[in-house]
């Protein structure tokens, strides 16, 4: 609940109150050569934890409190590639919960430092197994001591996608004046795509829903899943997408660098991947209003070598791929 004082900005009573209502940016320079296509980015790094994952993390924690599964003696535990973990840690610190996270050892140093700053406990898993290794580990820990933990299970929790159905979707409809014709989002847990997509379908059946995922099991697109080779989230329904676009790592890297150096937008790698998918569809259409999710900011990736042109991602280099 927020406190309103005449003549002063709203004062929020909790960090959770600051989640959502993120701005939208028009990407005019990327519209060049398109056929009357308006291209917009939903700037999710404006959430207090710096990513789109603040929305489902808050919803899962609050729903856990409401139904009694989360109590003060429980430890919040889940698998994460970083952003949801940061959101859990931030909200947990605010609401007085311990947080334990399972995540791949090779996540960026910036993410590790943020989690330590919020006081989260981290269990590192094999980098070769990616987010699937973290999922397997958290399931084992929870199975051994279920009474110790509150396990939101972001990959299988309907509160994940419902957070976006109730907030992100309506915001997009309002910010575009109901004119949206295409929605583009990457697939990780798939919560953003599923929640916003379902809300847009309920709003107007004709809206085209475009999912984005890596084009290979071996990729450098942190936070995104190659569904054909990964543990598929229980909340994911592949039939919702009208189009599924596969994006290469280097293509995403190049657009992420371009957004920073030529647009002043320091965003994460998945944002570059989502933009790549959006542009592929935009070049094939006309008279459209397209919204793409920019999932997080680039500050948590600054140690990555891809910022220096000519450096390929270590995971790709190890297999001789470009």
pLDDT tens per residue across span 90-108: 999 999 999 999 999 988 9
For the ranges 9-13, 138-142, 309-313, the lowest mean pLDDT is seen at 309-313
Quick one: pLDDT band at residue 318, thresholds 50, 70, 90?
very low
Rounded to an integer, what distance in angstroms lies between the CA atom of residue 214 and that of residue 270? 10
- List, in order, residues 6 or more apart from 303 with CB less than 8 Å away: 108, 109, 110
3-state class (DSSP) for residue 12: strand
Q: Is 53 a catalytic residue?
A: yes
Any idea which residue has 């139904």 for tokens? 67
Quick one: pLDDT band at residue 12, thresholds 50, 70, 90?
confident
Q: Half-sphere exposure (CA, 13 Å, Cβ side) for 122? A: 25
Helix-strand-coil percent breakdown of the chain, rounded to 5?
45, 20, 35
For the ranges 158-162, 225-229, 312-316, the lowest mean pLDDT is seen at 312-316
Q: At residue 315, does pLDDT exceed 70? A: no
Any idea which residue has 């919020």 for tokens? 118
pLDDT for the residue numbered 54: 98
pLDDT for the residue numbered 128: 87
Q: At residue 313, does pLDDT exceed 80? A: no
For the ranges 59-68, 102-111, 245-254, 288-297, the lowest mean pLDDT is seen at 102-111
Phi, psi for 312 (deg, rounded to 5)? -85, 165
pLDDT for the residue numbered 6: 59
Of the candidates 53, 112, 225, 300, the residue annotated as catalytic is 53
Q: At residue 151, does pLDDT exceed 50? A: yes
pLDDT for the residue numbered 1: 45
pLDDT for the residue numbered 31: 97
Is domain 2-47+167-314 in CATH 3.40.50.1100, yes or no?
A: yes
The answer to whether 249 and 270 are in contact (CB under 8 A) is no
Q: At residue 36, does pLDDT exceed 80? A: yes
Instruction: Examine domains 2-47+167-314 and 54-150 and report if their fold is the same.
Output: yes
Edge-to-edge strand ranges of the sheet holding 98-104 = 121-125, 98-104, 75-79, 149-150
Copy the structure tokens of residue 154: 């972001």
Residue 57, Cβ density class (10 Å: 0-12 exposed, 13-18 middle, ≥19 buried) = buried
pLDDT for the residue numbered 247: 98
Rounded to an integer, what distance in angstroms lies between the CA atom of residue 304 and that of residue 296? 15
The answer to whether 164 and 195 are in contact (CB under 8 A) is yes
The answer to whether 249 and 222 are in contact (CB under 8 A) is no
Q: Where are the domains of the chain?
A: 2-47+167-314, 54-150
Rounded to an integer, what distance in angstroms lies between the CA atom of residue 220 and that of residue 248? 9
For the ranges 4-18, 63-77, 190-204, 262-276, the lowest mean pLDDT is seen at 4-18
Per-residue buried b or exposed e for 93-121, using 16+ beta carbons within 10 Å of the residue's own CB: bebebbbbbbbbeebbebbbebbeebebe
Q: At residue 174, does pLDDT exceed 90? A: yes
Mean pLDDT of the chain: 93
The answer to whether 98 and 92 are in contact (CB under 8 A) is yes
Question: What is the residue-wise DSSP string for 281-309?
Answer: HHTT-EEEEEEEEE-BBGGGGTT-GGGST
Q: At residue 130, does pLDDT exceed 90? A: no
Of the candidates 211, 270, 271, 300, the residue annotated as catalytic is 270
Nearest to 205 by CA among 236, 166, 242: 242
The answer to whether 88 and 49 are in contact (CB under 8 A) is no
Q: At residue 295, does pLDDT exceed 60? A: yes
Quick one: pLDDT band at residue 308, thresholds 50, 70, 90?
confident
- Between 21 and 309, residue with greater pLDDT: 21
Quick one: pLDDT band at residue 319, thresholds 50, 70, 90?
very low
Question: How large is the average pLDDT for residues 159-172?
Answer: 98
Question: How large is the average pLDDT for residues 56-81?
Answer: 97
Greatest alpha-carbon span in the chain: 62
pLDDT for the residue numbered 312: 53
pLDDT for the residue numbered 322: 29
Q: Is 35 a catalytic residue?
A: no
CATH numeric code, 54-150:
3.40.50.1100
């Amino acid at each position: 609940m927020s406190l309103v004082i005449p003549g002063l900005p709203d004062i929020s009573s909790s960090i959770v109150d600051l989640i959502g209502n993120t701005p939208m940016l028009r990407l005019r320079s990327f519209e060049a050569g398109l056929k009357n296509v308006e291209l917009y980015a939903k700037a999710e790094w404006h959430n207090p934890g710096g990513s789109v994952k603040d929305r489902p993390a808050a919803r899962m924690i609050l729903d856990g409190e409401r139904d009694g599964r989360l109590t003060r003696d429980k430890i919040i535990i889940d698998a994460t590639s970083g952003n949801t973990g940061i959101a859990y840690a931030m909200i947990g610190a605010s609401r007085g919960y311990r947080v334990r996270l399972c995540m791949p050892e090779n996540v960026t140093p910036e993410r590790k430092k943020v989690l330590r700053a919020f006081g989260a406990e981290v269990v590192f898993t094999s980098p070769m197994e990616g987010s699937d290794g973290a999922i397997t580990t958290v399931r084992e820990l929870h199975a051994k001591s279920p009474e110790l933990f509150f396990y939101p299970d972001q990959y299988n929790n309907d509160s994940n996608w419902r957070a976006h159905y109730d907030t992100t979707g309506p915001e997009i409809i309002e910010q575009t004046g109901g004119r949206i014709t295409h929605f583009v989002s990457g697939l990780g847990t798939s919560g953003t795509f599923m929640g916003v997509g379902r809300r847009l379908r309920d709003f107007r059946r004709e809206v085209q829903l475009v999912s984005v995922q890596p084009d290979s099991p071996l990729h450098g697109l942190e936070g995104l899943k190659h569904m054909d080779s990964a543990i598929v989230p229980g909340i994911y329904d592949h039939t919702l997408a009208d189009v599924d676009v596969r994006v290469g790592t280097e293509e995403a890297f190049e657009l992420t660098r371009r957004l920073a150096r030529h647009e002043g937008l320091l965003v994460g790698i998945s944002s570059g991947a989502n933009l790549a998918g959006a542009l592929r569809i935009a070049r094939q259409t006309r008279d459209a209003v397209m919204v793409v999710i920019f999932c997080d900011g680039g500050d948590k990736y600054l140690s990555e070598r891809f910022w220096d042109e000519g450096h390929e991602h270590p995971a790709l280099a190890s297999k001789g791929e470009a």
